Chains A and B, each alone.
Chain A
Amino acid sequence: MLSSGGQGRLARRDFLGGLALGAGGLVAQAAEPLAARMPDSMKTLGGADLPYGQPSHHEQRVQRQLSSAAGFAVWRTPLQTQRGIITPSGLHFAVHHNGLPDIAPEQHVLMVHGLVHKPLRFDLQRLMRYPMVSRVHFLECAGNSAANALSPLPVKQTLGEIAGEVSCSEWTGVPLSYLLHEAGLREGAQWVVAEGADGGSHSRSLPLQALLKDAMVALYQNGERLRPSQGYPMRLFMPGWEGNVNVKWLHRLEVTDAPAHTKDESGLYTQVLADGRIERFAFHMDVKSVITHPSGQQTMPEPRGFFEIAGLAWSGHGRIARVDVSADGGRSWMTAQLHGPALDRAFTRFTLPWRWDGRKAVLMSRATDEHGRTQPLRSAWKSRYASHSFNHYNAVQAWGIDADGRVENVYA
């Protein structure tokens, strides 16, 4: 009724306007070209396209956030702007411990040696001729959400700044098993030390059986060759495992009987448990979810009313089975709708329609994977680890909404 009344008023005014113009006005209107009543974009020839397309310049604020607080460069994905399971390649998170090398592909060689019958090398030209597989998988840094793990008070930051060390892509490459079997595994082979061709020769030890089952030498990301920041021309990819073991700029694989205890598996990528023991080689990233809309530092569009809660969930152990959402700080939960496909070890999108009543609210999401693994509350997560541990944080993320519509990171 309101809308028809509005139209009525509009129609009357238009009609009165026409009368005032008189007959001369009507003639002029008929003679006027269409352009007179169209927006600019509809009456000018459009601009030229680019050889490599770019996002609209109106979306320039959608960028990765750089932080150097850790002592090295951490570029975080702005998850609060992502709708859909694929992260645009240029927005994929990156952690660079030793900068970004510039590697000429024709000079790059992958070496396989150690406990093998035939030490082999593969240049790109040959590697590109191997059968390839494509898989959609998330990749998450072990230290993602570290601020929520460590900080006594919740940091006032955006979702991307808090938990943007996770992204999801389609990765295409050669199953590592093809290369390892070609080299021929010798008795006693148990681990593989993977090394990158960067300034720091980043290296990690990985268990052989898991690599044979799941690992890929990734050459393509989202249909194009890897970005330099993701390891161009090739990286190791282990679905569901902490980002640090997915060695970028991969150039050497040494098959061994035991781990090398490299720098990162000795310190930064270990965690102290509540009883003081140091946990090493915890590779899997556990089940986790975040509400992306609304999220930290945002403001609700209206003082009250309809809002579609949206978010992303993932698990390093398999598929997401369900996501529950609470709007009252965890007292009651509603099951969100999952938007397929719910892929193995990939982002899965979830939504829940919600009517905000304009009062204080605390939104939370809790994901459960196909194995029944579910997210702990922050207090339960903290009780498992020493107070200064921060890796593998997968506790429920909570967003507080104030009466003025401001959304902030809170602990609940």
Chain B
Amino acid sequence: MRDTLARWLRAAAWGALWLGSAVLAQTAPPALVGLGEPLEPARLARHDITVFPGGRNLPPGQGSVAQGARLYQAQCAACHGPRGIEGPAARLAGSDGWMGWDDPLRLLRIRKHPLLIQSVGARWPYATTLFDYVRRAMPYHAPKSLTDDEVYAITAHLLHLNGLVGAEAVMDRQALPKVVMPGLARTVSAWPPGP
């Protein structure tokens, strides 16, 4: 008799627990599954590479336009062309669109490589993105193989190709965020969406 009662009580308790959790699942996500482990600072430091428009997370180091021009010919020109406009990979310099005074052959290039209709120099709003992307993804066949100094140099060269810095310019974590890209003034955000 007592056994039966104990079994019944135990079953009721489980039932209540089950009901309770079912209600919780309906009203709130299980915010505290709690299986995540502390992220070790050393692991994060290895991967924490995103550079932000204000310059946050830019590493120490520097590179000049002249150094960048040499590196560009060795590391980048095969895909982006000697002047950064020939393709097949992304157009790095000059204006956007079907035509450009700076490049009478553009239509022919677009016919062959349609995405040359866009230009990094015309559209990107922040110079810091050049550094971020070259460091994380380039050169295409050996990403992340350049030193920070080399990335600063290539960034400087690309800015110079676009006429945004002089031939003597040197880029580092102070100078780079100050470069104003023409794409910024034309920017409009579709987020958050309107009514």
- A: residues with CB less than 8 A from B are 69-71, 98, 109, 111-113, 118-123, 126-127, 129-131, 146, 150, 175, 177-179, 181-183, 193, 195, 199-203, 207, 251-252, 254, 256, 258, 260-263, 266-268, 270, 272-273, 276-284, 386-388, 390
Query: How many chain B residues touch the partner (CB < 8 A)?
Result: 58
Q: Say whether B118 contacts A268, CB under 8 Å.
A: yes
Once the chains are docked, how many angstroms separate the CA of A34 from the CA of B18?
62
Q: Say whether A260 contacts B132, CB under 8 Å.
A: yes
B147-183 with Cβ < 8 A to chain A = 183
Q: Say whether A111 contacts B43, CB under 8 Å.
A: yes
Once the chains are docked, how many angstroms separate the CA of A390 from the CA of B115?
10
The secondary-structure label for the interface of chain A is: mixed
Chosen A-B contacts, 21 in total, with CB atoms closer than 8 Å, are A69-B114, A113-B39, A119-B38, A120-B36, A130-B35, A131-B30, A178-B33, A195-B50, A200-B143, A201-B144, A203-B136, A252-B47, A260-B53, A266-B126, A280-B188, A282-B190, A283-B190, A386-B97, A387-B98, A388-B98, A390-B117
Q: Say whether B190 contacts A254, CB under 8 Å.
A: no
Q: Say whether B125 contacts A261, CB under 8 Å.
A: yes
Q: Say whether A258 contacts B39, CB under 8 Å.
A: no
* Contact residues in A for B140 (Cβ distance below 8 Å): 98
Q: Say whether B143 contacts A281, CB under 8 Å.
A: no
* Contact residues in A for B26 (Cβ distance below 8 Å): none
Q: Say whether B137 contacts A266, CB under 8 Å.
A: no
Question: Number of residue pairs across A and B with beta carbons under 8 Å?
Answer: 175
- Give the residue of B30, B113, B114, B132 whose beta carbon is less than 8 angstroms from that of A178: B30
Q: Say whether B123 contacts A182, CB under 8 Å.
A: no
* Contact residues in B for A277 (Cβ distance below 8 Å): 186-188
B191 interface hit (Cβ, 8 Å)? yes
- Give the residue of B29, B31, B37, B52 whose beta carbon is less than 8 angstroms from that of A126: B37
Q: Say whether A267 contacts B124, CB under 8 Å.
A: yes
Take A260-B132, A261-B126, A270-B123 as given contacts and tell me if A276 and B186 are in contact as well, using a CB distance cutoff of 8 Å: yes
Q: Say whether A278 contacts B52, CB under 8 Å.
A: no
B51 interface hit (Cβ, 8 Å)? yes
B89 interface hit (Cβ, 8 Å)? yes
Once the chains are docked, how many angstroms separate the CA of A276 from the CA of B187?
9
Q: How far is the CB of B44 from chain A (nearest CB, A)?
A: 6
* Contact residues in B for A282 (Cβ distance below 8 Å): 190-191
Q: Say whether A118 contacts B125, CB under 8 Å.
A: no
Q: How far is the CB of A324 from chain B (nearest CB, A)?
A: 26
Q: Which residue of A lies closest to B47 (CB)?
A: A252
* Contact residues in A for B38 (Cβ distance below 8 Å): 118-121
* Contact residues in B for A272 (Cβ distance below 8 Å): 96, 123
Once the chains are docked, how many angstroms separate the CA of A207 from the CA of B182?
25
Q: How far is the CB of B191 from chain A (nearest CB, A)?
A: 4
Once the chains are docked, how many angstroms separate the CA of A207 from the CA of B189?
12
Q: Which residue of B lies closest to A175 (CB)?
A: B29
* Contact residues in B for A109 (Cβ distance below 8 Å): 43
- Give the residue of B35, B143, B193 whose beta carbon is less than 8 angstroms from that of A199: B143
* Contact residues in B for A268 (Cβ distance below 8 Å): 90, 115, 118
Once the chains are docked, how many angstroms separate the CA of A109 from the CA of B36?
11
Q: Say whether B129 contacts A266, CB under 8 Å.
A: yes
- Give the residue of A98, A123, A150, A279 whose beta carbon is less than 8 angstroms from that of B188: A279
Q: How far is the CB of A180 from chain B (nearest CB, A)?
A: 9
* Contact residues in B for A279 (Cβ distance below 8 Å): 188-190
* Contact residues in A for B85 (Cβ distance below 8 Å): none
Once the chains are docked, how many angstroms separate the CA of A88 from the CA of B123?
37
Once the chains are docked, how many angstroms separate the CA of A272 from the CA of B140?
27
6 smallest beta-carbon distances between A and B, as pairs: A120-B36, A200-B137, A282-B190, A119-B39, A281-B191, A263-B133
Known contacts A252-B47, A263-B137, then 18 further A-B pairs from the complex at CB < 8 Å, ordered by chain A residue = A113-B39, A113-B48, A130-B35, A181-B31, A200-B137, A202-B137, A260-B50, A262-B129, A262-B132, A263-B129, A263-B132, A266-B124, A277-B186, A278-B123, A279-B190, A280-B125, A280-B189, A280-B190
B32 interface hit (Cβ, 8 Å)? yes
Once the chains are docked, how many angstroms separate the CA of A288 from the CA of B133?
33
B107-136 with Cβ < 8 A to chain A = 113-115, 117-118, 120, 123-126, 128-129, 132-133, 136
